Structure formats: structure tokens, C-alpha cells
Amino acid sequence: MEPGPLAGLKVLDFTQNLPGPYTTYTLACLGADVIKVEPPKGDPGRWAKPLFAAINRGKRSVVLDLREPSSRPALEALVRWADVLVEGFRPGVMARLGADWPTAKGWNPRLVYCSISAYGQEGPRRDEPAHDLNLQALAGVTWLERNRDGSPHPLVLPIADFSSALSAVAAIGIALAARGTDGPGRHLDVAMGDPVLSFTHTWATGVDLAAPVRTSPVPDVLGGSFTARLDRERLFAMPHYGLFRCGDGKWLSIGIVDERHFWEALCTALGMRPLARLGIPGRILAGSLIRRAVALRLRSADRATWLERFVAAGVPASPVHTAAEALDDPQVRARGLVENDGVRPPIPGARVPADCAPDKGEHTAEVLAELGLA
């Protein structure tokens, strides 16, 4: 495998569970040398073996008990060795462990020090514990995803964990570019809740199909239920944006938003050409009826037949895959996203390391020897 764009970059990883390890895994996929520092009991994320194996590939593991004074020489040597340090504890923990930003900066002024925490290093919630669900709830994601009865519902995908990891990768790259060849390092404060709030606010305010009804002088004739449905479903209130079952029981997705040419192509492919004259307001108003008509038509043939017709007509449609089926999609294979039994991070130049996730402390002796401490 050719060296990645970050070959030669030295990363010290004090993170556990998901956000931090995915950050440093991405850096490893880009060619960085990542040393994962684990406590004597190991990363608690090791209990979820498949996930741990996926996001800790290509790293070296060193066990240090940072609560013991005897670990101080190794800790200082590792910080001096590193270009980047990533930690994922609550504010104040790294200070108790003797490796907070002021201390690390004193040892290595060029260090890029990235702190990933739930709420960030400042603010009234900084010391509160939180996981992905808490951050989805606080940012409004569970409100956007609410059920038909109005009860909030979370995303299964841990969006706060993954989005904060990619935010951290971006921040580290920017800090390294700003540091250049002879500039100082800096402290990066990455809060897991920040990207989720940004995404949620942008979507909640930018796509609001209920706004015209809400501000109309004509009251909602359905007693507010229509407005509530638009407010909850957003794009899914459109009868041409959603998931549909075909005649063979398999599912496909149709993703038409405001493109009239796509709507006309769909109506033609379905044999429902008279509906092509409807504009977006008419389609939304009659959305439930049109969706049932589309669903009934799709039940008349199998998924492969419909996808062939839709591709020929230029309709944005795709099969609904399981996570395992997605790996065998021709587009995924053509882009080389699957390699070494893993999927590479969504950054150009990233490659899945050939090395498996390390055993706890597997490289302790090797790394300490490199640092002259053996």
C-alpha cells in the first residue's frame, strides 16, 4: 500500500469508545502513525468487539497507568514525540492525569491538542456526562424524528459520535496547515453536540413545508393536523420522496424533491401521466392519495423491473439495502470503498489499514524502546 497523505504524522490517542477512536482511525487511514494509550483495564470499548476492531485498525497500543507517577517519563516522551494529541475525556480529566493542554504545550509547543467532549470545554454543561442520545435530544434531532403521535424518536445511527469525529479530523487538518513548518500548536475544542445542532438547525429552518400553511390567512381546514403532518414529515410529505414496497416484497427509494422534470419522468414511468401537471403545492395537498396510488402501481412489478425503468427514465431511485447488502452494490465496489474487509472513511486518500486492531498493550515494549525508555 502506498503511503497516505498524512504519512509521517505522529498521533497520540487517549480516546475511548467511538468519537475519538473514529477520529484517530481516520487519521490512521490517511497514513498517520497512531499510538493508542490505554489504561491497564484497556479501552472500555473493547467489549463491542466488532466495532472496536473496525475503528482501531492500523494503530499501536501502549498500556500506561497515568495515575501512577512511574508513568510520567513515558507520558512526557510520548507527548514530545507527537504532532497531534487527541483526548476524549470530560473537561478536567486530562489535568488530573497530568497531560492537560498547558502541561503538554510546555513539553511540546508545536503540538496540536484536540479535546473531544460532549459539550465542549466551556459553558454550564461542560462537566455533565452525555452520550449520543442526549446530544440528539438537546439539539432537536429527536423532535425532528418524532412519531405520528408526536412523541420524539432518535436516530439509530449515532450522528453526534460520527459527525464530531469528522469535525475533529477537519479541525486537526486546519490546525496543522496553520502551524506550518515552524509555527506553534494550538488547542482544539470539539464538542460532540455542536455539529448536530448545526445540522438540525439548518434543516429545521431551511426545509419547512408547513410555513406557507402556517402563515396563510386561510386556516388549516383539518384543524391543524395537516400543518402538524407537514411540520413533522417535511420532505417525506411529498408523495415522490420516500420508500416503497414492490411486487416481490423488496423495497426501493424514490428521491424527488422540487425537480419538475423528475416528477414528470416518474409519472411517465408509472403510467400516471395526467398527474404530471400537478405542481408542488397540489402534490403536497393530495400527498396521501398520490402516495397510495404510487405504492399500488409499484406493487404490480418486481423491484428489478422498476429500477430498470426508472434508470432509463432518469428517475432518482435506488434499492433499499441492508448494511451488508450495501457492501456489494456495484457503485460501492467501483469506488473501492471496501478493502481489507473494511470500509474506508469518507475522505479522499483514506485507505483501510491492513493491520488489525491491536491487542491491549501489544506495542508497549516496542514503543518504549523507540522512545529510549526500554
Residues 6+ apart with CB under 8 A from 150: 228, 232
User: Do residues 28 and 59 make contact, with C-beta atoms less than 8 angstroms apart?
Assistant: yes
- Is residue 355 annotated as a catalytic residue, yes or no? no
Residue 276 identity (one-letter amino acid)? A
Active-site pick, 161, 182, 220, 258 = 161
DSSP string, 125-179: TTT----HHHHHHHHTHHHHT--TTS-----SS-HHHHHHHHHHHHHHHHHHHHH
User: Do residues 42 and 34 make contact, with C-beta atoms less than 8 angstroms apart?
Assistant: no
Count of all residues that appear for the chain in the document: 374
C-beta atoms surrounding 331 within 10 Å = 9
C-beta atoms surrounding 321 within 10 Å = 14
Task: Tell me the C-alpha distance between 271 and 294, whole Å.
Answer: 10
Residue 46 identity (one-letter amino acid)? R
Task: Tell me the C-alpha distance between 340 and 338, whole Å.
Answer: 7
SS3 82: coil
Task: Tell me the C-alpha distance between 342 and 135, whole Å.
Answer: 28
C-beta atoms surrounding 22 within 10 Å = 25
User: Do residues 36 and 86 make contact, with C-beta atoms less than 8 angstroms apart?
Assistant: no
Task: Tell me the C-alpha distance between 146 and 243, whole Å.
Answer: 18
Catalogue all structural domains in the chain, each as residue range(s) with its CATH number.
10-200+353-370 (3.40.50.10540), 228-320 (3.30.1540.10)
Residue environment code for 59-69, b if the CB has 16+ CB neighbours within 10 A, otherwise e: bbbbbbebeee
Task: List the chain pLDDT tens, one digit each, 374 residues.
Answer: 678 999 999 999 999 999 999 999 999 999 999 999 999 999 999 999 999 999 999 999 999 999 999 999 999 999 999 999 999 999 999 999 999 999 999 999 999 999 999 999 999 999 999 999 999 999 999 988 888 888 999 989 999 999 999 999 999 999 999 999 889 999 999 999 999 999 999 988 877 666 666 666 555 555 567 777 777 777 767 788 899 999 999 999 999 988 899 999 999 999 999 999 988 888 888 888 999 999 999 999 999 999 999 999 999 999 999 999 999 999 999 999 999 889 999 999 999 999 999 999 999 999 999 999 87
